Amino acid sequence: MTQHHTVILGGGYAGLMAAMRLNGRAKQHTKITLIDGRDHMVERIRLHQLAAGQKLKKHTYQNFLRKTAIRFVQGWVEQIDQDKQQIRLNDGRTIPFTHLIYALGSQIDTKRLPGIAEFTYLLQGIQAAEQLHQALKELPQNSRIAICGGGLTGIEIATEIAETIPHLNVSLITRGSFAESFSKAGIAYLQQICQGLKINLLDQHTITHFTENAIHCADKQPITADLIIWAGAFTVSPLAQQSGLPTQPNGQITVDSNLRAIDTPHIYAIGDAAHCATTPHAHPIRMACATAMPMGCYAADHLAQTLQNKRDDNPFRFNYFMWCVSLGRRAAIVQRVNPNDTPKERILTGRFAARIKEFICRFTIRSIYLERFWPGAYQWPQ
């Protein structure tokens, strides 16, 4: 019987993928336990669809883990005791580990500006998305909806709501220029789509705080709205920092080129919770589902080798390839990017791009299932 016990914290895109891949690669060399506070995986990349009133399939861990050797424990992790090598859950249970994969993801940062928590809606999870939908449904005709934050998530939310509930007046508020990270062709297409959906684009607005039904901006009059959605940046749990793991000022775990917490080789960190600056790019890996899944695969592969006393000196590598952003159900934009995440001029648009986006969303879930039957099936650009 093996002495090793790998505990994976968080069953999101990164953690669940790592668990499934490790099961295929090394279940004879380690016991595997997956811990998550929920009994189902949150398909975060589709939460805006839920907010707009579409029905989504529930992906329970029980279904994912059928016919695997992975044990699932439902509970919220409260502490990682590095000395005792054990996890403590909020109900007092403790779980020992020899190896740990930390994949607790991220949440929307509600402390970024005063008033976010009190006066705005957030796409924080399934329940929050359903509550937002309920609130949208109850609004009278021509109510004003303000989506604050013009990143990829903000664009997806604004277009989804404007298309599905056309009797609402949707505004998208951005700090800089609208869609400035896209290529010229990308910006022009996004402007055209927003115009078609009658989305009011308010750029160059630096939001300072929120009060009830009001968005306050630097050097501008407050903007009033009947419902405000905050689509700003993500933040990570303070748990890693509190547990003495090496972290960045934003709380992400600093990892080496093998995705192991610095100077802590038996602890891996992956997905949004990890700060990985070791790929050949100028910037650390971006928080995204597109990067979380490769990190999950890599960590599982590397750990599987380690458990078999084999050396794996290949560092984690990831090359960006494209951004795929839904624009309602009838259109999307595929922005081709260079390996360092800067945009190329080439874009794909319309229904064809919408089909690609839908394919990607389905593929993320299917590829996790696929690891059960075909370990190593998931590949990524590197």
Q: Which residues bind to ligand FAD, rule: CB under 6 A?
A: 10-15, 35-38, 42, 44-45, 47-48, 76-77, 103-106, 123, 153, 156, 237, 271-273, 287-290, 292
Q: Which is nearer to ligand FAD, 139 or 288 (CB)?
A: 288
What SS3 string covers 99-154? Answer: EEEECCCCEECCCCCCCHHHHCECCCCHHHHHHHHHHHHHCCCCCEEEEECCCHHH
Helix and strand counts by DSSP (H, E) for the chain: 10, 24
140 Cβ contact list (under 8 Å, min separation 6): none
In the complex, minimum distance from the CB of residue 79 to ligand FAD, in angstroms, rounded to a whole number: 10
- Cβ–Cβ < 8 Å for 367, 377: yes
Q: Which is nearer to ligand FAD, 113 or 217 (CB)?
A: 113
* CA 91/CA 354 separation, integer angstroms: 44
For residue 313, CA distances in Å to 86, 318, 334 come to 28, 16, 34
In the complex, minimum distance from the CB of residue 131 to ligand FAD, in angstroms, rounded to a whole number: 15
In the complex, minimum distance from the CB of residue 333 to ligand FAD, in angstroms, rounded to a whole number: 11
* CA 3/CA 129 separation, integer angstroms: 42
In the complex, minimum distance from the CB of residue 67 to ligand FAD, in angstroms, rounded to a whole number: 21
In the complex, minimum distance from the CB of residue 372 to ligand FAD, in angstroms, rounded to a whole number: 18
In the complex, minimum distance from the CB of residue 121 to ligand FAD, in angstroms, rounded to a whole number: 12
| Residue 342, CB-side half-sphere exposure with 13 Å CA sphere | 4
Q: Which is nearer to ligand FAD, 10 or 150 (CB)?
A: 10
In the complex, minimum distance from the CB of residue 140 to ligand FAD, in angstroms, rounded to a whole number: 26
In the complex, minimum distance from the CB of residue 156 to ligand FAD, in angstroms, rounded to a whole number: 6
Q: Which is nearer to ligand FAD, 192 or 242 (CB)?
A: 242
| Residue 340, CB-side half-sphere exposure with 13 Å CA sphere | 5
Q: Which is nearer to ligand FAD, 217 or 303 (CB)?
A: 303
Q: Which is nearer to ligand FAD, 14 or 190 (CB)?
A: 14
* CA 368/CA 96 separation, integer angstroms: 26
Q: CB neighbours (10 Å) of residue 282?
A: 9
In the complex, minimum distance from the CB of residue 163 to ligand FAD, in angstroms, rounded to a whole number: 15
The residue count for the chain? 382
Q: Which residue is nearest to ligand FAD (CB)?
A: 12
Q: Which is nearer to ligand FAD, 290 or 353 (CB)?
A: 290
Q: Which is nearer to ligand FAD, 211 or 242 (CB)?
A: 242
197 Cβ contact list (under 8 Å, min separation 6): 159, 162, 163, 166, 170, 328
Q: Which is nearer to ligand FAD, 24 or 271 (CB)?
A: 271
**Angle, vertex CA 115, rays to CA 113 and CA 119, nearest 5:** 135
